[in-house]
A and B are shown apart, each in its own frame.
Chain A
Amino acid sequence: MSFTIAKQGDVSIVAIDGQLIVSNRQELKQKMLDELEGGARKILVDFSQTGYIDSSGLGVLVSLSKKIREQGGALRLAGLNEDLRTLFELTKLDTLFQISDTRAQALASF
Chain B
Amino acid sequence: MSGAPHPRGDARLLEFEIPNDVRHIERVVEEIRAECRRWRYDDRQLALNVPVALTEALSNAILRGNNDDRDKLVRVRAWIDTLQLVVEIMDQGAGFDLEACAADPTTPDRLLDEDGRGLYLMLRLMDQVERLESAGFNVVRMTLRRAS
Residues in chain A within 8 A of chain B (CB atoms): 19, 21-23, 51-56, 58-60, 62-63, 66, 81-83, 86-87, 90-93, 95-96
Contact = CB atoms under 8 A, between A and B. Distances in A.
Nearest to B44: A83
B35 interface: no
B76 interface: no
A92 B48 contact: no
A91 B120 contact: yes
B59 A96 contact: no
Interface of B: 22-23, 25-26, 44, 47-48, 51-52, 55-56, 59, 63, 105-106, 111-118, 120-121, 124-125
A91 B25 contact: no
What is the interface of chain A mostly: helix, strand, loop, or mixed? Answer: helix
A22 B55 contact: yes
Given A54-B118, A60-B114, A21 B48 contact: no
A66 to B, nearest CB: 7
A93 B106 CA distance: 8
